[in-house]
Amino acid sequence: MKESEQILETRRLGISELQVGILGMGCWQFGGDSNSYWGFQSQRDVEEMIGAALDSGINYFDTAEMYNDGESERSLGLALKGRRSRAIIGTKIKTSNTKPKTLREQCEASLRRLQTDYIDLYMLHWPINYQSILHFSNDESLLADPPTLEEAFYTLDQLKQEGKIRHIGISNHGVEQMDEVKATGVKVIANELVYNLLCRAIESRILPYCTRHQMGVIGYMGLHQGILSGKYRKIDEIPLGRMRSRHFHHSRGEGSRHGEEGAEPELQEALNGIHQLAFDLGVSVSMLSLAWAFSNPNIAITICGARNVQQLNANIEAASFPISSEVRNQLDHITAPLLHKLGNNADYFENSKYSRIR
């Protein structure tokens, strides 16, 4: 058996029939060039990773129309040629593209780029509100006459009835917003949200709500964009492009827009504690961090990106590394001050007063 050929634990995604591996592959980096957020990504490496992922039991691949302006979808589609039936594809529609005609056109465009007749899970990337639309578009006419929740989910339901999508999902939705979606009567099986050791806001209200309503939770940013990879021991070592979240002072990160003071002392203490515990246990920081996420039975999938098969194998190894309840409790304790400082706002990139998640 090759190093990557391990069988992952599977969990049911919400009330759907989908059985998903607990480790999902984040595909934002796919199709990237030198000017992209994650830089150039070799298509050869993508295809090698897809093969290794499928052999290991990874079957969920997460992308979006906005990732590298559609090139992520295109790259994934190429890599899945001849093995599409083994994969569960999740992709996302921008909030600014949810007027009925536009939504239908964008779904068709995603299908073409992915070279598939159907999308397994089609998600609304962010809730439909002014701040979310503004994140994607500054079209004044759209901001003045935004799409409505009812028309967007009616169109999604039509696309499902037509067989173009198998299931409807949402991403970055809070309790109030999930109630509003539920009121449309459209069946939604999953909510994709930030969840890692440094981002635990969903634990207070959002995750219990999803569990009660049998909505699958897909956790993204499993390694917090590499900050939990073990590469960075000190805050000052973290690249500026990874300092956009509310963990950092607003003056730090490239593209930071939250305007808050951050929680840098608490973040540094959390990193110190995680690194020390990993050292004491004789495991890598990334393995410990991912194993903590996988150990939560209410998280169906934890998404983690990789640039090559070596990084993918490390993620797979973490998915089969059990941690005791004692170690999980230690990690909860280590990161509790950071959780307390940042609060229960699950939008880590906008000012808390203008959170897109409620």
Each residue's pLDDT tens digit, 7-38: 799 999 999 999 999 999 999 999 999 999 99
Q: Is 154 a domain residue?
A: yes
Give how many domains the chain has, as a whole number. Answer: 1
Query: Looking at the predicted structure, is the pLDDT value of residue 1 above 80?
Result: no
CA 320, CA 309: separation in Å to the nearest integer? 17
Please, are residues 228 and 289 in contact by the beta-carbon 8 Å criterion? yes
Residue type, 169: G
Q: Which two tokens stand for residue 177?
A: 């917003």
Provide the CB-side half-sphere exposure for 334 (13 A, CA): 23
Domain that holds residue 26: 10-232+294-323
Q: Is 158 a domain residue?
A: yes
Q: Is 27 a domain residue?
A: yes
Can you give the pLDDT at residue 45?
Answer: 97
> What's the CATH number where 211 sits?
3.20.20.100
Q: Is 281 a domain residue?
A: no
Each residue's pLDDT tens digit, 320-337: 899 999 999 999 999 999
Q: Is 39 a domain residue?
A: yes
Binning pLDDT at 50, 70 and 90, where does residue 203 land? very high
Each residue's pLDDT tens digit, 36-49: 999 999 999 999 99
Q: Is 245 a domain residue?
A: no
DSSP letter for 206, please: H
Can you give the pLDDT at residue 21?
Answer: 97
Each residue's pLDDT tens digit, 337-346: 999 999 999 9
Can you give the pLDDT at residue 253?
Answer: 78
CA 118, CA 162: separation in Å to the nearest integer? 10
pTM of the model: 0.96
Please, are residues 228 and 274 in contact by the beta-carbon 8 Å criterion? yes
Can you give the pLDDT at residue 157?
Answer: 98
Query: Looking at the predicted structure, is the pLDDT value of residue 6 above 70?
Result: no
Can you give the pLDDT at residue 2?
Answer: 46
CA 56, CA 209: separation in Å to the nearest integer? 31
Query: Looking at the predicted structure, is the pLDDT value of residue 212 above 50?
Result: yes
Average pLDDT taken over every residue of the chain:
96
Token pair 């939770």 is found at 217
